[in-house]
Amino acid sequence: MKLATYRDGSPDGRLMVVSRDLRRAVDAGTIAPNLLIALERWDSAAQALQRLSDMLNADTAAGSVDFEPQRCMAPLPRTFQWCDASAFLNHGRLMERAFNTPPIPDFDTVPVMYQGASDDFLGPHDDVPLPDEALGIDFEGEFGVVVGKVPMGATPAQALDAIRLVVQLNDWSLRALGPREMKSGFGFLQAKPSTSFAPVAVTPDELGDAWRDGRVHLDLDVEWNGQTFGHPNGGEMNFGFGDLVAHAARTRRLGAGTIVGSGTVSNADRAVGSACIAERRVIEIIDHGEPRTQFMRFGDRVRMCARGADGDAPFGVIDQRVVRA
Question: Residues interacting with a copy of itself, by CB under 8 A?
Answer: 11, 40, 78-81, 83, 86, 99, 101-102, 104-107, 110, 112-120, 129-131, 135, 152-153, 174, 177, 180-191, 193-194, 247-248, 250-255, 257-258, 325
Can you spell out the DSSP letters for 131-146? S-GGGTEE--EEEEEE
Which residue, 257 or 273, has its beta carbon nearer to a copy of itself? 257
As a whole number of angstroms, the distance between CA 137 and CA 241 comes to: 27
121 closest CA partner among 38, 46, 192: 192
User: Least distance to a copy of itself from the beta carbon of 23, Å?
Assistant: 33
234 closest CA partner among 124, 137, 91: 91
The per-type count for the chain, helices as H runs and strands as E runs, is: 7, 20
Please, are residues 292 and 282 in contact by the beta-carbon 8 Å criterion? no
Which residue, 207 or 248, has its beta carbon nearer to a copy of itself? 248
Please give the backbone phi and psi of residue 54, each rounded to the nearest 5 degrees, phi first: -60, -45
Please give the backbone phi and psi of residue 178, each rounded to the nearest 5 degrees, phi first: -65, -50
Contacts of 303 (CB under 8 A, 6+ apart): 221, 222, 223, 226, 317, 318, 319
User: Least distance to a copy of itself from the beta carbon of 175, Å?
Assistant: 12
Strands 113-116 and 128-130: what pairing? unpaired
Strands 113-116 and 163-170: what pairing? unpaired
Distances (CA, A) of 275 to 3, 106, 140, 220, 231: 25, 24, 6, 8, 7
User: Least distance to a copy of itself from the beta carbon of 4, Å?
Assistant: 20
User: Least distance to a copy of itself from the beta carbon of 35, Å?
Assistant: 14
Is 272 exposed, middle or buried, given 0-12, 13-18 or 19+ CB atoms closer than 10 A? middle
User: Least distance to a copy of itself from the beta carbon of 248, Å?
Assistant: 7
User: Least distance to a copy of itself from the beta carbon of 68, Å?
Assistant: 25
User: Least distance to a copy of itself from the beta carbon of 282, Å?
Assistant: 15
